[in-house]
Amino acid sequence: MMNTLITSLARLLIFPGLLFAVPAAWFFLWVERKAVARMQGRIGPPFMQPFFDFIKLLGKSTPPRNGIGGMLMKAWPLIAVSSAAGAVGLLPVLPASGGFQGDLILLLALLELPSMCIIAAGFSSRSIFGEIGSAREAVLSVSYNVVFLLAIVSIAASQHTFSLSALAQLPFSWLRLLGIVAIIVCLPAKLHLNPFSLPNAEQEIYSGPMVEYAGPELAMWELSHGLEWVAATGLVATLIAPAFTLWWVAALVFVAISFAIVLLLSVVASATARLQIDTTVRFYWQCTLIFAVLAVAAALFTRFRA
Amino acid sequence: MNLWKKLMCYSRSHSPWLFHMNSGSCNGCDIEIVASLSPRYDAEQLGVRLEGSPRHADILCVTGPVTHNAAAAIRTVYGQVCGPKAVVAIGSCPATTNVFIDSRTLDGPLNKHIPVDVFVPGCPPRPDAIILGVAKAAEILAARGNKPPKESVMIPIGESSCCAGGCACKAEKEEVRA
């Protein structure tokens, strides 16, 4: 009992939890900006840039906000950061790191919470741009989440388990590859990257739901966005990475695969333009949903054959 | 505590986020601001980011000679930028109202309405000069913190406004000569 408590605390606070995840979040934010800059033929921001931005935002003042609305506006970024950090802490990176039956469901819920917070934050800011951004985020989240969940369910259903560490140790299969591709297609929408960066479209609605945020609250949003990067790419990395017995090899492979996915997503983001909301929704419902339903059907078929 | 202050000062001077406000400008300076973020000049190397919301910004970049319509908007937006903040007046218009001086549609210059930290004159100024002005404003901001602004700095026009030699500006001139 004591042992599991210590292991889970270490996972939440050290690796792959806060102590690893916060610098990794800043690093991935830098990789994103740097990759976009290199694709545009620029040099791009210095290595420590997201860290400097974070510290600077901590030192800025915030406009006074009273009442329930003000309290809620302070609460949303904190909820987003803690749920994203919890999601990173659940990832089964190290071999034999524990975990429980059903932690996949908890991970999916924690991954979903930041975007719920973004929707709520936009509406509680009472700014017209924030409300448009939140409405777009809600529409987007309804369309990509069906595909995202079906892709993960297809992998889980074929193995009849909802435990992350059991999923991470599976051998390679074509079905799993199909699921992973479907998840990667959903990631740009989840991380608000370019073909699907509708909720925070700078040229149309300024920063969308974040438009009224300033200072430390904005710093928390930046951090939660970085942690979402770590959690979302980490989920794909644990599904791709083969099982290792040595812990440092497992950790190294995890970081390398996450890095590769961040690079891939940033390059795609800088090479594409923003799609309209109806095009985006049609893309997810028509093209990708068929793909995900096929994956689930195949998963159920293989399970009943076996 | 001292270490935290030093880190904060360093971070402030290395992460200036801009909000660009047009107060009746002819769009010449606005194009040069965008040019300073383009691949040729790449202000993002200094951590510069053009933000969509004044709440996110540290430095307010104002262009244009301040028309009657824009005057109230400028004061509102200046109030919306959270402190510590600095103001950069880009172009000759916000500094002196330029060729529009004595026009009945104007309520300029800019420092009649809000305190200006750095003037970047020129019609329009070169992107090098704009980047230099923003870097100067970030330094002022880091040194000053939340204290009220004192006096303005002027970025000189001409070759001295270039960075220390070998920059795109000089290369361009040599190309023209050759």
**Is A64 part of the contact surface with chain B (CB cutoff 8 Å)?**
no
Range B146-171 average pLDDT: 62
Residue B77 in 3-state DSSP? Answer: helix
Instruction: Give the Cα separation of B79 and A267 in Å (integer).
Output: 38
Q: Between vectors from CA A194 to CA B58 and to CA A201, what angle results, nearest 5°?
A: 50
pLDDT score, position B131? 92
**Is B98 part of the contact surface with chain A (CB cutoff 8 Å)?**
no
- What's the structural domain count of chain B? 1
Instruction: Give the Cα separation of A263 and A259 in Å (integer).
Output: 6
pLDDT score, position A95? 62
Positive or negative: CA dihedral A239, A240, A243, A247: negative
Range B49-65 average pLDDT: 91
A48: buried, middle or exposed (CB in 10 Å: 19+, 13-18, 0-12)? Answer: middle
For the beta sheet containing B118-120, the strands, ordered from the edge strand earlier in sequence to the opposite edge, are B49-50, B17-22, B59-63, B86-90, B118-120, B153-154
ipTM metric? 0.84
For residue range A267-302, list pLDDT tens digits in order: 998 888 888 888 888 888 887 777 777 777 777 777
Q: For A78-82, A151-155, B96-100, B101-105, which range has the lowest pLDDT when averaged over its residues? A: A151-155
CATH number of the structural domain spanning residue B161? 3.40.50.12280
The label of the residue with tokens 């002022």 reads B140
The DSSP-derived string for A84-150 is: HHHHHHH---STT----TTHHHHHHHHHHHHHHHHHHHHHHTT-HHHHHHHHHHHHHHHHHHHHHHH
Chain A contacts in chain B segment 110-149 (CB below 8 A): 146
pLDDT score, position A64? 85
B47–A45 CB contact, under 8 Å: yes
Cis peptide leading into residue B124 (ω within 30°) = yes
**Is B34 part of the contact surface with chain A (CB cutoff 8 Å)?**
no
Choose among B90, B40, B29, B35: nearest CA to B60: B90
Q: Could you tell me which residue, A156 or B46, shows the higher pLDDT?
A: B46
Is B167's pLDDT higher than 60?
Answer: no
B39–A49 CB contact, under 8 Å: no
Q: Between vectors from CA A226 to CA A284 and to CA A155, what angle results, nearest 5°?
A: 45
B82–A53 CB contact, under 8 Å: no
Choose among A284, A233, A231, A299: nearest CA to A17: A231
- E-strand ranges in B27-160 read 49-50, 59-63, 86-90, 118-120, 153-154
Which two three-digit tokens encode residue A287?
């093209």
Instruction: Give the Cα separation of B143 and A239 in Å (integer).
Output: 49
Residues 6+ apart with CB under 8 A from A105: A162
Q: Which domain covers residue B150, as residue numbers?
A: 2-177
Q: Could you list the mean pLDDT of each consecutive 10-residue stretch along chain A, which spans 306 residues?
A: 74 77 90 90 91 92 85 90 88 68 84 90 87 88 86 78 76 77 86 80 76 89 91 86 77 87 90 85 81 76 73
Is B165's pLDDT higher than 60?
Answer: no
Q: Which residues in chain B are contacts of A56 at CB distance < 8 A?
A: 8, 11-12, 14-15, 58
Rounded-to-10 torsion of CA A4, A233, A245, A90: 10
| Cα nearest neighbour of B12 on chain A | A56
Please give the helix or strand (H or E) that residue B144 lies within, else none: helix B127-144
A52–B11 CB contact, under 8 Å: yes
pLDDT score, position B67? 93
B82–A62 CB contact, under 8 Å: yes
Range B7-29 average pLDDT: 91
- When scoring A60, A211, A218, A225 by the number of chain B Cβ atoms within 10 A, the one with the most, hence best to mutate, is A60
Range B33-43 average pLDDT: 90
- Partner residue opposite B45 with nearest CB, options A46, A55, A62: A46
A61–B42 CB contact, under 8 Å: no
Q: Could you tell me which residue, A14 or B27, shows the higher pLDDT?
A: B27
Q: Quick one: pLDDT band at residue B32, thresholds 50, 70, 90?
A: very high
